[in-house]
């Protein structure tokens, strides 16, 4: 029975997690942001444990034109039961810390993970219902168009860019879940081997946290030739040797058919520099992969004949650039010079 007891550190972390869940009752758990040219400051709806907040009235007004149902806190049974569920789990964490039994902590982990899965499925169902069940007599009807926001990440809905991301309370839930899962694994391994040193605990949890956040990283997406459109000139991207991409910190991706279009887009300040996660250019040379702007080598020449006459090619290394440079008359330029 002694091996069923959890360590003092585990008990302390469980207690802290319980207190953290109480905080969730008072801060937004999720938010959906809408970005469009007519709303340069953006619109935001925040989802608390017991209410909707933010620009709900404005969003309802816009949704009316496309036939979506209006959003009202009283229409969601979730807002009536969610606070009680959060309090239940907060108390469960505290009780698990006091009782200090590994078996009770395992039960808590199973229930908490199950709740997380059910909550996300319910959220998706809610978004699907509002995005698909539209009023057939709406002022704006686009055949085959649905307006379901993304479960998480970015999605383009007509001229609106919709971001769906956790807010403070959501990240607390993610953190609590990651810590709880880490504690279960740690205590299981400790019982199994009885050789895990206390010094290994910080490394273990840092690794677990890094793994849990890896899914939130922003990475570029391949440009689909003949399918994707340039976000500046609106032309279809058709030349695999040219192209560029901007990835924002909110995971939104802007694609361009020419380096000239990307630079013009940057100068438009539609996306401010602090909100940009990365800028990438298509490698002029095969296999035409994406290169980070700071690592790219650029060649400018009228003979390159890029889609929008920017006539700038990007290369992953100087050797590749020199091979093309020997065939055309041009100038080597830097990323800093390209931005001017």
pLDDT for 202 beyond 70: no
pLDDT for 215 beyond 50: no
* Residue 52 shares a structural domain with residue 185: yes
* Residue 180 shares a structural domain with residue 32: yes
Q: Give the lowest-confidence range in 48-57, 124-133, 247-256.
A: 247-256
* Residue 183 shares a structural domain with residue 249: no
Q: Which residues of 19-41 are buried (b: 16+ CB within 10 A; e: fewer)?
A: ebbbebbeebbbbbbbbeeeeee
Q: What is the mean pLDDT of residues 322-338?
A: 88
Rounded to whole angstroms, what are the CA distances from 120 to 78, 107, 194, 259, 290?
Answer: 12, 20, 37, 39, 33
Residue 230 lies in a domain: no
* Residue 211 shares a structural domain with residue 271: no
Q: Which two tokens stand for residue 235?
A: 């032309």
Name the H helices within 144-275.
168-193, 200-213, 259-267
pLDDT at 55: 92
CB-based contact 223:256 (threshold 8 Å): no
Residue 234 lies in a domain: no
* Residue 157 shares a structural domain with residue 249: no
pLDDT at 13: 94
* Residue 206 shares a structural domain with residue 251: no
Burial label, 14 (beta-carbon count in 10 A; 0-12, 13-18, 19+): buried
Beta strand 52-54 with 253-256 is unpaired
Cα–Cα distance between 334 and 289 in angstroms, integer? 19
Residue 225 lies in a domain: no
* Residue 33 shares a structural domain with residue 166: yes
CB-based contact 31:162 (threshold 8 Å): no
Confidence of residue 36 (pLDDT cuts 50, 70, 90): confident
pLDDT at 280: 95
Sign of the C-alpha dihedral computed for residues 140, 141, 145 and 147 taken in this order:
positive
Cα–Cα distance between 337 and 214 in angstroms, integer? 34
Residue 228 lies in a domain: no
Residue 231 lies in a domain: no
pLDDT at 95: 96
**In this predicted model, which residue has the larger pLDDT, 263 or 36?**
263
CB count in 10 Å sphere of residue 78: 17
* Residue 210 shares a structural domain with residue 249: no
Split into its structural domains, the chain has a count of 2
Cα–Cα distance between 27 and 16 in angstroms, integer? 17
pLDDT for 336 beyond 50: yes
Residue 300 lies in domain: 244-338
């Amino acid at each position: 029975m002694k091996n069923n007891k959890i360590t003092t550190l585990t008990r302390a972390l469980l207690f802290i997690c319980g207190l953290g869940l109480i905080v969730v009752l008072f801060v937004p758990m999720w938010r959906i942001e809408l970005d469009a040219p007519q709303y340069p400051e953006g619109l935001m709806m925040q989802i608390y444990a017991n209410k909707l907040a933010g620009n709900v009235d404005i969003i309802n007004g816009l949704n009316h034109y496309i036939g979506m149902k209006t959003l009202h806190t009283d229409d969601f049974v979730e807002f009536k039961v969610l606070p009680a569920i959060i309090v239940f789990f907060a108390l469960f964490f505290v009780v698990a810390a006091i009782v200090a039994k590994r078996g009770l902590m395992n039960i808590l982990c199973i229930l908490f993970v199950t709740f997380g899965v059910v909550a996300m499925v319910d959220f998706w169902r809610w978004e699907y219902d509002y995005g698909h069940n539209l009023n057939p007599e709406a002022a704006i009807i686009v055949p085959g168009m649905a307006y379901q926001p993304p479960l998480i990440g970015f999605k383009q809905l007509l001229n609106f860019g919709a971001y769906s991301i956790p807010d403070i309370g959501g990240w607390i839930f993610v953190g609590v879940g990651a810590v709880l899962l880490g504690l279960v694994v740690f205590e299981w391994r400790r019982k199994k081997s009885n050789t895990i040193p206390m010094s290994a605990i910080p490394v273990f949890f840092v690794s677990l946290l890094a793994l849990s956040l890896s899914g939130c990283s922003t990475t570029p997406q391949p440009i689909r030739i003949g399918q994707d459109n340039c976000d500046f000139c609106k032309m279809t991207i058709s030349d695999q040797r040219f192209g560029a991409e901007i990835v924002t910190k909110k995971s939104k991706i802007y694609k361009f058919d020419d380096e000239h279009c990307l630079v013009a887009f940057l100068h438009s300040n539609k996306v401010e520099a602090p909100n940009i996660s990365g800028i990438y250019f298509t490698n002029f040379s095969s296999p035409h992969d994406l290169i980070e702007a700071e690592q790219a080598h650029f060649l400018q020449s009228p003979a390159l004949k890029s889609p929008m006459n920017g006539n700038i090619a990007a290369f992953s290394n100087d050797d590749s650039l020199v091979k093309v440079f020997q065939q055309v008359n041009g100038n080597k330029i830097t990323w800093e010079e390209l931005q001017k």
